Each structure stands twice: as structure tokens, then as C-alpha cells.
Structure 1
Amino acid sequence: MALEIERKFLVRDLSITDSLAGERLTQGYLSHDKNATVRVRTTGDTAWLTIKGKTVGATRSEFEYAIPLADAQQMLAELCGAGVIDKTRYRLPQGELCWEIDVFHGDNEGLIVAEIELPSEKTSFEKPAWLGEEVTGETRYYNSALSTKPYKSWP
């Protein structure tokens, strides 16, 4: 079984991305079930279908498959509704690990989140000074939740 072990933080200083090249991602959700989400994502001329299980701690099952770009674009247009996520992702290696910093656009403008995937929940890592509050496990920060209740609508 494929597992994703991920910790998520808000970002307090976006200048960390100044020297990094970002990639624009578009993603939408085909299913928002509490036990599994099904996501379609595109970047450039590449597309994936991803199924993620329920998060327990910082771990969940994850299955990802490359799909034809035209299929993904049709799914985004016809099956995902208005809650399509638009963001720019920056990757910042840290030793054997890598931070992924997502700068959201559209209805989620103003939200900046950093995630780090870990080999185990017990893996220690350095927390850079540009990190803010940890939001691991706070469901409103899940991309699937942001697609139905965007950041701009939060009180």
C-alpha cells in the first residue's frame, strides 16, 4: 500500500521562494467522501488521478496514476464544479527531504502552506525560520476542503 506521511505548516515569510522556480497546478475533486478523496490534477502537459484515504495522525493511503491531459481537462471542466484549486508550487530541498510551498490563487488567494513528506511520523526535521503555525490535521487546510470552502470565505 502506498502511504503519504505529511506535516503541514503556514508560511510566515514567502521570500524563501524568491530564488525558486514554481509550477502552476490546477486540481479538482471528483469525490469528497470522508474516507477517500479522488482528485484530478494538471501541471503543464502532465495530469494525474489521485485517490487519498482518511488521514490518521499525519498518515494516509495514497494512490496516484498518470492520465491523459485531455481527460484531466475534461474532468476538471465537467466533473469538478466551481471548486477547482489554482496554486503555484515551489520545491525547496532540505537534506533528504523536500519542502513543498503552495501559494494559492483565486478564491484561496492569501493562503500559503508548506508541506513536508516524511518516511515515518517519527522522522525529525529542522523547522526553518520562515515556517509559521503547524496545521497538520486541521481539515479546513486540506485542498479538498478548500475546494468547497475557500480561504476567502473564512471568518
Structure 2
Amino acid sequence: MIEIERKFLVKDTIHEVIALIRPHQIIQAYLVNEKSKSVRVRIMDEKAFLTIKSDMIGITRKEYEYEIPVIEALSLIKSFGLKSLKKKRYKLEFRSKTWEIDVFEGALQGLILAEIELDSEDEKFDVPEWVDEEVTFKPEFLNASLINRL
């Protein structure tokens, strides 16, 4: 599968917008975390996934995701002694597009990022007022980089 996405910092005003939305609880860790590829374990609510991502070319990369038992995801995180990041994910519809808002917890508390998946690299979309600076091309805002701050 091909993933095409843009990423943005989010203004604090988002808290008013998401106040009544039930978030997904996410814990994720990386088995492989290199510039050209990553292998991620993610637990989201009552499900778990193993995701393999290639290096980004522009805003596009290959992504393969497989559901795995939660107990196996927890075992991988524990047995590899992996750092894990925690966040709450809110999904918002804005002008026919789904935005995913990640509110980070723990050492990354205060960081809020929004992602939008697109059908093509040149797809036009409307930007909500709560969106701040675009960070798509800043590798320090990739989750695989954020985990190194822990």
C-alpha cells in the first residue's frame, strides 16, 4: 500500500474542537528504526498492528500493516526492551477529508500533531483554522524520530 500524507503542528485551540470526541488510546514502539525503514508495533485500543514503512520519497512511502494479537504486541515491546510513546488520537472530518489529531503524553506532553492522508501528492485540500505550521518535511516530527526524545 502507498501512504501519502502531510503533517502539521496544531494550535492549542484544538482542545475546544476535540472536547466531545472519544479518542483512540495508542501505545507504539519500534523494532527497527532507521532512516530508510521502520518496523513499528502499535496497540490501539483493543487491537494491535505490526507496520513496516519504507523511506519517504517526497510525501509518499510504502506501508504494510498486519493485525497481530495484543498479547504478542505487548510481548514484543517488553522482550525487546523498547521505548514506547503514548498518545491519544482523535479523528475529525473537515471538508470531506479525515484529519487525525495526535495529542502526545508523557515526555512528549504538549506536542499536538495533525495528519491528513491524500490520494495524490498534488491533491488540494482545505486547512482548518486550528492547523499551524506544516512539518511534513521535518524528520524530527516523524513518530520514529519522536521516540528518540524519550
Q: Aligned letter for 2:84?
A: V
Task: State the Cα deviation string for residues 91-122 of structure 1 (Å, max 9, x = none).
Answer: 00124420000000011111000000001011
Q: Comparing 101-110 with 14-23, which one deviates more in the overlay?
A: 14-23
Report how many aligned residue pairs link the two structures.
148
How do 1:101-140 and structure 2 match up within 5 A? 101-140=101-140
Q: Which residue of 2 aligns with 1:63?
A: 64
CA distance in 1 between partners of 2:88 and 2:74 (Å): 18
1:153 maps to: none
Query: Counterparts of 1:7-86 in structure 2 under 5 Å?
Result: 7-12=6-11, 13-14=13-14, 15-81=16-82, 83-86=83-86
- Name 1:88's counterpart in structure 2: 88
Q: CA RMSD in A?
A: 1.1
Per the TM alignment, residue 80 of structure 1 is displaced from its structure 2 partner at its CA by: 4.9
Normalising to structure 1: TM-score of the pair?
0.91
2: CA distance between counterparts of 1:100 and 1:50? 18
Is 1:45–1:69's contact at 8 Å kept on the other side of the alignment? yes
Deviation per residue, 1:106-147 (Å, 9 max, x gap): 111110000000010111110011100000021111101111
Q: Which runs of 5+ in 2 are unaligned?
A: none
| Structure 1 residues without counterparts, runs of 5 or longer | 151-155
Over 6 Å off, 4+ runs = none
Contact 1:30 1:80 in 2 (8 A): no
Aligned-residue sequence identity (percent) comes to 41
Q: Distance in 2 between matches of 1:80 and 1:67?
A: 19
